[in-house]
Structure 1
């Protein structure tokens, strides 16, 4: 009888530790977000649930291709999900339905086909990034409201976890 109580205490202790670790990870590292709009189609669709690594940009700078979650600069209570297209010191230009960074067109297999207006060229200053939605025709992004200050970055999108048939890790694809 004593052995069963001891095993039960160990099991409860392990479950408690897992709950604390999971809660800690959820609180300080991973944050769930919901994709509310079609701006990141086809890779992420409205209704997709994603996990975001909140520590990413405390240790590393955002780089081209990162899918980021950030506080919208015009209303910090709202969060947006977009892709970093150009980082500090890079020159970005959109023309002929292509994106050019430092004068070279970049491959973008993740972009939803369609026409979009020209932009730039513009040099991204220190402390900012240029972000675009993958669905350029239906995205409110740096073309409209300007370059994103890096202090608004909340984290790097890590995986789509729901719905289960769309489960996948989010890659840079650049």
Structure 2
């Protein structure tokens, strides 16, 4: 009799616990590998993104991090001017815009950045914003493991990206911590909420 009651209780609780566990596991998988919501902190991407803005980031095709492990199923395609979430300074995530792609030649000149010797059509920047060269920056260069330090000109190696904040005068970006490898990209902004 006790065994029958115990089996019935196990069946009853498993009908409740199993769906809850599977739901939580599914949500966790979605958050790790597919999508995540972020609140913007800081003004390095102003005026495009401001403090307190909410964004939905797609992680599909980008390395997922679980503790110290990184898992990557597909290699995502990164296009010029896309806004990415990436590893920044001291384990912080950063939001930056891709300006230079692998193989591009970049040069900082006359308060702007040139890619392949041509000016970029950066319609997202406020008029009058200046893109200060790394050598003239007030923010010191910071060595980050895996990043490639840059000067005022150079070619971007395979697998690396030149990223800049839209608020060029108040952004810590590739000018300060170098070219960012694909492995440090966490996802791209999909929807501005």
Q: TM class by shorter-chain length?
A: 0.7 to 0.9
CA distance in 1, matches of 2:34, 2:153: 36
Identify the residue that residue 156 of structure 1 maps to in structure 2: 188
CA distance in 2, matches of 1:28, 1:60: 12
Q: 2:75 aligns with which of 46, 49, 59?
A: 59
Identify the residue that residue 78 of structure 1 maps to in structure 2: 92
Give 1:94 deviation, angstroms: 2.1
> Is the contact made by 1:56 and 1:156 (CA closer than 8 Å) also made in structure 2?
no
Aligned residues: 146
Give 1:56 deviation, angstroms: 3.7
> Is the contact made by 1:112 and 1:136 (CA closer than 8 Å) also made in structure 2?
no
> Is the contact made by 2:133 and 2:175 (CA closer than 8 Å) also made in structure 1?
no
Identify the residue that residue 10 of structure 2 maps to in structure 1: none
Distance 1:56 1:112, change over 3 A: farther
| Correspondence 1:23-172 to 2 at 5 A | 24-57=29-62, 58-72=74-88, 74-75=89-90, 77-113=91-127, 114-119=129-134, 120-161=152-193
TM-score computed with the length of structure 2 as normaliser: 0.67
Structure 1 residue runs of 4 or more that deviate by more than 3 Å after TM superposition: 16-27, 56-59
Gaps of 5+ in 1: 1-15, 162-174
Gaps of 5+ in 2: 1-19, 63-73, 135-151
> Is the contact made by 1:85 and 1:131 (CA closer than 8 Å) also made in structure 2?
yes
CA distance in 1, matches of 2:175, 2:24: 43
Give 1:84 deviation, angstroms: 0.6
> More deviation in 96-105 or 135-144?
96-105
Give 1:28 deviation, angstroms: 2.6
TM-score computed with the length of structure 1 as normaliser: 0.74
Secondary structure, counterpart of 1:38 in structure 2: coil
CA distance in 1, matches of 2:101, 2:92: 23
Q: Deviation per CA, 1:86-123, whole angstroms, max 9, x where unpaired?
A: 01110111222322110111100001332332352211
Larger radius of gyration: 2
Give 1:27 deviation, angstroms: 4.2
Give 1:26 deviation, angstroms: 3.6
